Amino acid sequence: MPALDTLPNEILSLITAHLDHPKDVSNVALACRRLSGFVELDGWKAYMKGRFGGITGPDADAKEAVHGLTTLYRNWQRKAFIARYIEPTRAIRLTTWDAKQWRGNQGQTMGYRPSIDSYEEISGWADRREVLAWSAGTQIALRIKETGQKAVKARNDVSESRDLDEYKHVRYWYSYQIPRGREGQDDITALKLLRPFQKVGATDCIAVGTASGQLRLLSVDTDDRTLRVQSYSTQRRPVVAISVSPDQRPVMTTVLGDDTLALYSIEPLAESARAKDSLSQVQPVPSGRVWSCNFISKDKVAVGMGPTTKPIQIFEITPTGFSAEPLRRFSLDSRSGSEVARLNTSVYPIVPLPASSRGGALTGHTFLSGGYDGIVRLHDLRSPHDFETMFWDVTSDSSIYSLATQGLERIVVGTSQHSMLKVFDLRLSGSHAYHSVALPPQERRSAAPKTRDYASNEIVSEAVNHIGVSTVSGGWNLFLHPRNLEGDAASRRRRTRVDDTPIYSLSIPSSTSTSLYAGLEGSVMSLDFLSILDKHPDPLHRSAVVRFPNTDVVDVKSSYNPHGDVLDLGMYEQGSEDAVGMRLMVQGGVGVEQNIERNNNSRSEELDDRWKDPSTEKNRWSRGQQPHGRGGGGHRRGRGGRGRGRQW
């Protein structure tokens, strides 16, 4: 049998692609000079391709990308993150290009309902440009963040809108105000960013719709300090939702009023005094309300509506506009075919599966929906069934207001109550190619009978019995209502006066991003997935690490919480019908003495060091973080929720 170092690089690459851990690749490099050269040239690239599927990175950056990806996977598995509210202090106004103090919405009894979108351009694992935009009443907050070498160069830039974040990344803040906008009447209700492959030069484009029927495309060039605005005709109908096609020459579809789907052309550098008319319009249902629209491919748009027995419709975009009739209608009932659907319900968010997924959205076949009944469903246009898989929570049936996918691994769900974020295992072919933590098997009940939930279990059971649909439960729930509030974070929450808010929107910039953004009433929260006691942190956050003088010990507070604005949250694991009851955990502070050493309550590898049993801090457990079982009003609408009519 030939020695390993005598094999050609092509064979060595096939072997390396099936190694279990990065340390195995490092050990191969230590064997001899020949294998060390192979690992440096091709080994890390082969491992990344084999273990992370469709996720790729720059060839010269493969080793660092593997480091970052494995750390990201581990941090999600261990629920290791740092949460903060984000808001500019000063921002450059895009209309005048002068810097002004940021002011949130003023004079309203309720906080604004953020619509969020983000993306990032990656030139190396740690070299990124992230663009984040969200609506705040009649304003838009726009943040552009540079990391890695881009940040080093940008630190020499002198700008009133430039500052450094906690990880020493450079941020630029901008704002846009709806001209003559009146809060409560002209609030921004929908917002979308064009993606990097759709841009022209250095121009960032933002599609914006308002409750008063204004629809605009903002083309922003921050280098040349220019702003172009293209308006679109809506006949003064409120803009409920916006989606942009995933094409190099995109089109835009919107929901106007309660019942109209409209299609518009997009020209990123266009500017005209005359509002452009729509290319095509269609009414998905004769009556009722349309809640959302989203492209699931370049030429297919999924529409969420209700209450109705078929709350999802798929329209095809032809050379002449929308197809006259839906390509397909989906019911959420377990009865299909010739049987009459009985379930009368609503669907709110719809998102396509990632294009890099083996069952994904490259051809627009598969997508996820979330609705009033608190269940996430996986749909496939190729299947005769209305849905293939149900993702459900045995502890809470709060309606679903927002959805996002985290790579090929997880579904992130924003609900209508208790500021609750849910995370489910996606469990598709090709996902979970890499596991950094071996999770223990769940303990099973032996004598006790299965407990049945009050609301959705009947729906789930009927689906399993009638069409044999697969079900997934047993994720984890996170409460975005913080247990600690100090300084700026405390004053922001006092201004919004909200403890129990829906999660209206979610955004993850890319499949390899370490950040998750959530839109709550009157605020936006970021979750950065990193562990404060990681000896080898993600290269993206390596610049944040500060060590005590003359030692190699990390100064946790100076590194990750220099301004004291990190939020401590609570979470519980959902369990399943067969598993022992849920486990409730809370986060400890960042930088306090008990976090310098490993927290025994976090069970080492299974959970991050910050998680601990809340019984040690009974007096600090606050309203809005207690888990609510089914049957306790799970469908009641939160403040400003979808069930309260025309409330923006």
325: CB partners within 8 A, 6+ apart: none
Identify the bridge partners of residue 120 per DSSP, sorted by sequence position: 130
Architecture field, domain 187-344: 7 Propeller (2.130)
Q: What is the pLDDT of residue 220?
A: 94
- Given a cut of 50, whether residue 630 has pLDDT beyond it is no
Q: Which of 277-291, 320-334, 420-434 has the lowest mean pLDDT?
A: 420-434
Q: Which of 179-188, 270-279, 479-488 holds the top average pLDDT?
A: 179-188
Kindly give the interhelix angle for 22-31 and 44-52, rounded to the nearest 10 degrees: 160
Identify the bridge partners of residue 390 per DSSP, sorted by sequence position: 377, 471
N- to C-terminal Cα distance for the chain? 71
Rounded Cα distance between 228 and 214, Å, is: 16
Kindly state the tokens that stand for 115. Answer: 């619509």
Kindly state the tokens that stand for 216. Answer: 């605009």
DSSP 581: P
Q: What is the pLDDT of residue 160?
A: 61
Each domain of the chain, given as residue ranges in start order, spans: 4-77, 187-344
Kindly state the tokens that stand for 598. Answer: 């490993």
pLDDT, tens only, 336-367: 554 556 778 899 999 998 766 544 445 678 99
Residue reference for tokens 């689906």: 463
23 in helix, strand or coil?
A: helix
pLDDT, tens only, 174-199: 999 999 888 888 999 999 999 999 98
- Given a cut of 50, whether residue 625 has pLDDT beyond it is no
Rounded Cα distance between 306 and 322, Å, is: 20
pLDDT, tens only, 17-54: 989 889 999 999 999 999 999 999 899 999 988 887 65
DSSP 110: S
Are 531 and 75 contacting, i.e. CB atoms less than 8 angstroms apart? Answer: yes
pLDDT mean over 497-514: 87
Alpha-helical segments (H) within 373-486: 456-467
This prediction has a pTM of 0.89
- The CATH class of 4-77 is mainly alpha
Q: Give every strand in the sheet of 515-520, ordered side by side.
A: 82-85, 523-528, 515-520, 505-507
Per the prediction, the chain carries an average pLDDT of 81
Element (H, E) at 525: strand 523-528
Q: Do domains 4-77 and 187-344 have the same CATH topology?
A: no
Q: Which of 227-236, 264-273, 333-342 holds the top average pLDDT?
A: 227-236
